[in-house]
Amino acid sequence: MRGLYLITNDDPIELLLAKLEGVMANGGVSVLQYRRKKVTKEDQAYEIEYMRDLCKQYKVHFVINEDLELAVQYGTGVHLGQNDSPVSEAVARLPKNVLIGRSCYNSLELAEQAVADGASYIGFGAIYETQTKPEAKSIGLDILKAAKGKFNVPVCAVGGLTVENAKEVIEAGADVCVVVSDILGRPMHLIPERLDEWSALFQATA
């Protein structure tokens, strides 16, 4: 598990799906996370099924944000915050081949517990200030270096990441960079070029 981890935004669903089709066809994304908190539960069903099948077609990991029950319902992976379901419960209830991630903020202790409970990957952030979660405080790069040396699961960095500022993040130990606006915030015709820039960055820091 290495590369770009893309989280959905709140674009109108037709626009978002068109962008995701282009993203998947271009390649370069390892994981897609479904996070659409402004969408009703009734409308989420179509979106989740569509994105799950799209990811399956392009062999991209698919996870649902914070909702273990939805992940169980659709047989997908899940990303859990510290106030969500236990990682151990997700491991027990989900298929063996899906991803189970845990937000660890800036804590090696939380990461150690997540790994012990069976998490597939651990997330740290916010690395930089981000408009997606403006309340999140920047944590710097030292935690990534420490986590990379301590754990044998992929280390994910999240928060304000762009091609321009991610080189040092990857070099510090991030296997995966989590983004939203740096891809989906762009006009559709500019997304392939940005994905190519990300792919080149990961290749250069391999």
CATH superfamily of this structure's domain 3-204: Aldolase class I (3.20.20.70)
Of the candidates 110, 87, 119, 99, which has an alpha carbon nearest to the alpha carbon of residue 32?
99
Q: Does the pLDDT of residue 134 top 80, yes or no?
A: no
* 4, containing H or E segment: strand 3-7
Per-residue pLDDT at 206: 83
| DSSP letter for each residue of 162-180 | -TTT-HHHHHHT-SEEEES
Strands (E) located in 106-198: 121-125, 155-158, 176-179
Q: Does the pLDDT of residue 158 top 90, yes or no?
A: yes
Average pLDDT over residues 117-123: 98
Per-residue pLDDT at 137: 66
**Structure confidence by residue, pLDDT tens digits, 10-47:** 999 999 999 999 999 999 899 999 999 999 988 999 99
89 or 140, higher pLDDT: 89
Average pLDDT over residues 97-110: 97
**Structure confidence by residue, pLDDT tens digits, 45-83:** 999 999 999 999 999 999 999 999 999 999 999 999 999
Q: How confident is the model at residue 197 (pLDDT cuts 50, 70, 90)?
A: very high
Q: Which residue has the tokens 């091609």?
A: 163
Label residues 23-50 b or e (16+ Cβ within 10 Å = b): bbebbbbbbbbbbbeebeeeebeebbee
Of the candidates 55, 54, 50, 21, which has an alpha carbon nearest to the alpha carbon of residue 192?
21
Average pLDDT over residues 157-167: 96
User: pTM value?
Assistant: 0.95
Mean pLDDT across the chain: 95
Asked if 27 contacts 6 with a C-beta cutoff of 8 angstroms, the reply is: no
Q: What percentage of the chain reaches a pLDDT higher than 90? A: 91
